Amino acid sequence: MSKLDKKKIVESVPQKGFFGHPKGLFTLFFTEFWERFSYYGMRAILVFYMYYEVSEGGLGLDDNLALSIMSIYGALVYMSGVIGGWLADRVFGTSKAIFYGGILIMFGHIALSIPGSLSMFFVSMVFIVIGTGLLKPNVSSVVGEMYPESDSRRDAGFSIFYMGINLGAFISPLLTSSVSDAYGFHWGFAIAAVGMLLGLIVFMVTKKKNLGLAGTYVGNPLTLSEKKKYSIIFGAAIIVIGGLLAVLIPNGLFTVEAFINLIGILGILIPTIYFFVMYFSPKTDEIERSRVIAYIPLFIAAVMFWAIQEQGSTILASYADKRTDLDFAGISISPGWFQSLNPLFIIILAPVFASMWVKLGDRQPNIPQKFSMGLLFAGLSFLVILIPGYISGDALVSPLWLVLSYFIVVLGELLISPVGLSATTKLAPVAFSAQTMSVWFLASAAAQALNAQLVKFYTPANEIIYFGSIGGAAILLGIVLFVIAPIIQKFMRGIK
């Protein structure tokens, strides 16, 4: 996409109309609100659905296997963003990617709402993984398209957008957990499907008036010869993969464990390949190459951060279910409710951070420094949760320890996630704009692929070592990143 195209897009979007931000922020705010309502409502009860006994309405899987599958599920959701970003950049644009993705996500949750079978669970995984890959990175890319490059509102706009994400993520676990406790898991999944439908309605009804040309441009469209080449490659890949699975699965050579290990490798390999492709592409100029170099340590820091944050839906979810006293102050707490803590704290604190960045202006910490502080908070959140085990041993612990851990990691999240989204739109090579946003989400994929291996080592007996080792590693990496922040800033070539 040329600079002229970017200018046309910005001019086509009403620049005032949603808390002093472009009017299109309203459309994307509520589209993502309902999509995240859908996704996090499903995720709040999914791990329990996997390891609860069949007599309790679950699938009866082994606890550690359920935790690993949950991590791999998350890894695949974000890994698929590579495909979604590529299709948006080269085939049909971000707006259509958002719509198609929403449709697939809705079908995935409908599949989960059908009682009774492991096969429908895997069908839902396919739909939700592909659908989120189409929608998630592209809706964030459209947010970036609405602002001029030098617009000081950009970071604040992403913080507001991030608050919309978390409004949906806050409400849905409370609702789906309560409904699933009362009526069964499948009714909870049905509510998630309705949420995605509402998101699609908001997007289709308001996009023309509010978004202008944002999301309609194809940044690097395929040529006719490329279309033929990629059609052949895609068809051959389907045949090869299908043939291999047809041979390996019946002979017991392709197991769930083997699949988890494969995704772990791909979680590291795919972003590595992408960095090489972006750096050496003839479509990437000298300044953009320098910015790609600057982006690499930020990506590594993000992987470390998300490796801790994403365990809120696996290890800490299990901790809430099995290690926490759920009768507190006369209230019987559903373990799924804890999944609302992270978005609740973000809703409260996001406006504070957004206002702080605007007031500080040029005096605010630079991007690498914000990332380093985010890692410090992430590490502290794990050090906090080891304390009750050290004090009380095997006894059930107060839910307030979990509340404190979630609160601390949110402080780090607000220093990394909205800032990382904004930095990605600034540092992305023009020819890889949507795909670079996909690379940002690959940090979460890599983190959860890593977590699929890490969660195997967690038991209540070794929780102090587990939380202490991972938390300490995050703090150490945060300190290193802070020290080298001036070097990273130089490579960013004018981006602050």
Lowest mean pLDDT among 30-39, 60-69, 239-248: 239-248
CB 13 within 8 A of CB 22: yes
- At 189, is the secondary structure helix, strand, or coil? helix
Q: Angle at which helices 341-360 and 399-427 pack, to 10 degrees? A: 50
Q: Give domain status of residue 331, yes or no.
A: yes
Interatomic CA distance for residues 198 and 179, integer angstroms:
19
Write the pLDDT tens digit of every residue in 270-279. 889 888 888 8
What integer pLDDT is reported at residue 2 of this predicted model?
A: 53
Instruction: Please compute the mean of the pLDDT values over residues 136-154 and round it to a whole number.
Output: 78
**Tokens, residue 488:** 């990273």
**Domain-located, residue 52:** yes
Select the more confidently predicted residue: 336 or 418.
336
Please, are residues 350 and 159 in contact by the beta-carbon 8 Å criterion?
yes
DSSP letters, 349-387, are: HHHHHHHHHHHHGGGS--HHHHHHHHHHHHHHHHHHHHH
The beta-strand segments (E) located in 322-480 are: 327-328, 331-332
- Domain-embedded: residue 368: yes
Q: How far is it, in rounded angstroms, from Cα 372 to Cα 252?
A: 45
324 phi and psi angles, rounded to 5 deg = -110, 140
User: What token pair was written down for 202?
Assistant: 């908001």
Sign of the CA dihedral with 122 first, then 42, 203, and 26 last? negative
Supply 305's token pair: 């951060």
Q: What SS3 state is found at 332?
A: strand
Q: Is the pLDDT of residue 162 over 90?
A: no
Q: Is residue 2 part of a domain?
A: no
Structure tokens belonging to residue 339: 């999944």
pLDDT digits (tens, 9 = 90+) for 225-245: 888 888 888 888 888 888 877
CA dist 203 and 62 (Å) reads 40
- Is position 8 within any domain? no
The mean pLDDT of 469-477, rounded to a whole number, is: 95
For residue 215, pLDDT beyond 90: no
Share above pLDDT 70 across residues of the chain, in percent, rounded to a whole number = 97
In this predicted structure, what is the pLDDT of residue 305?
96
pLDDT of residue 462: 86
For the chain, the domain total comes to: 1
Q: Domain for residue 244, yes or no?
A: no
Residue 419: give the domain boundaries: 13-220+252-491
For residue 396, what are the CA distances in angstroms to 192, 325, 403, 413, 468? 31, 5, 15, 28, 20
Q: Quick: pLDDT tens for 296-332.
A: 999 999 999 999 999 998 999 999 998 999 898 888 8
Answer whether residue 334 shows pLDDT above 70: yes
Question: 285 vs 382, which has greater pLDDT?
Answer: 382
Under a CB-based contact definition with an 8 Å cutoff, are residues 420 and 319 in contact? no
Predicted local confidence at residue 411, as pLDDT: 95
Q: What is the mean pLDDT of the chain?
A: 86
Is 299 part of a structural domain of the chain?
A: yes
In the numeric block, which tokens belong to residue 165?
């994400």
Is the confidence at residue 262, as pLDDT, over 90?
no
Residues near 350 by beta carbon (within 8 Å), at least 6 away in sequence = 159, 160, 162, 163, 166, 414, 418
Please report the pLDDT score of residue 83 as a whole number: 83
Q: Which residue has the tokens 């699933």?
A: 180
CATH number of the structural domain spanning residue 165: 1.20.1250.20
Q: For residue 45, is it within any domain?
A: yes
Q: What is the pLDDT of residue 268?
A: 87
pLDDT reported for residue 374: 95
Residue 222 has pLDDT above 60, yes or no: yes
For residue 136, give the amino acid letter: K
Sign for the pseudo-dihedral over CA of 218, 221, 224, 230: negative
Angle formed at CA 163 by CA 161 and CA 164, multiple of 5 degrees = 65
Stronger pLDDT, 468 or 2, i.e. the higher one: 468
Q: Give 434's pLDDT tier (boundaries 50, 70, 90).
A: low
DSSP label at residue 91: I
pLDDT of residue 116: 65
pLDDT tens digits for 181-202? 888 888 999 999 998 999 899 8
The reported pLDDT for the residue numbered 226 is: 83
Confidence of residue 123 (pLDDT cuts 50, 70, 90): confident
